[in-house]
A and B are shown apart, each in its own frame.
Chain A
Amino acid sequence: EVRVMESGGGSVQPGRSLRLSCAASGFTFDDYGMHWVRQPPGRGLEWVSSISWESDKKIYADSVRGRFTISRDNAKNSLYLQMNSLRAEDTALYYCAKDVGTGYNFYGLDVWGQGTTVTVSS
């Protein structure tokens, strides 16, 4: 079964850091791009960041660029999101998702995890 599972969420104070992880299984991880998407409570989906199969393309939403860093370890079938200088508006359910297509470009998010909750509050 193709699966992705997020971990690492929690409650932090503004200005602090948090690292999310996503464990992938059931597919050849290093063939696919990967993504992070978040959903604030009661609101819609917000794309956060995407990384290509060999980490040679990384793109970020304007709202997180310079604060968040996406990375992956293909040997460990894992995706990460390092979140620094967290703000109250970063509070959301964070989803990890697999791309539907292989290679350098991005095509769509076909496998989603259940999400991990990040709460930023003093």
Chain B
Amino acid sequence: SYELTQPPSLSVSPGQTASITCSGDKLGDNYVCWYHQKPGQSPVMVVFQSNKRPPGIPERFAGSKSGNTATLTISGARASDEGDYFCQAWDSKTGVFGGGTKLTVL
């Protein structure tokens, strides 16, 4: 089965850079998306096709991929960036989400 692995949590101070990783055996062959979910809200896409930002997503959010590891980098982290971040990918037969990373900014 296709699995994506993320660190469960990450804590940074305001203004610092947060880097969230996502690893998976097939990730090198597939695009990755990233989503941000705040408590009680629906997820919001922040990166698609590994490094593209949807309209309205600040440039502070940047996606990259090297081999089987994708990284979401949040520059100048703010309190409003807190919440859960999920990576997601497809292969030809299935889709999968990573387990999520809880980002704390304090």
Contact = CB atoms under 8 A, between A and B. Distances in A.
Q: How large is the interface on A (under 10, 10 to 19, 20 to 34, 35 or more residues)?
A: 20 to 34
B82 interface: no
B42 A62 contact: no
A45 B99 CA distance: 7
A99 to B, nearest CB: 9
Interface string B81-92: 000101010100
Q: How large is the interface on B (under 10, 10 to 19, 20 to 34, 35 or more residues)?
A: 20 to 34
Contacts of A107: 31, 33, 48-49
A87 B42 CA distance: 24
B86 A44 contact: yes
Nearest to B99: A44
B66 interface: no
A20 B45 CA distance: 23
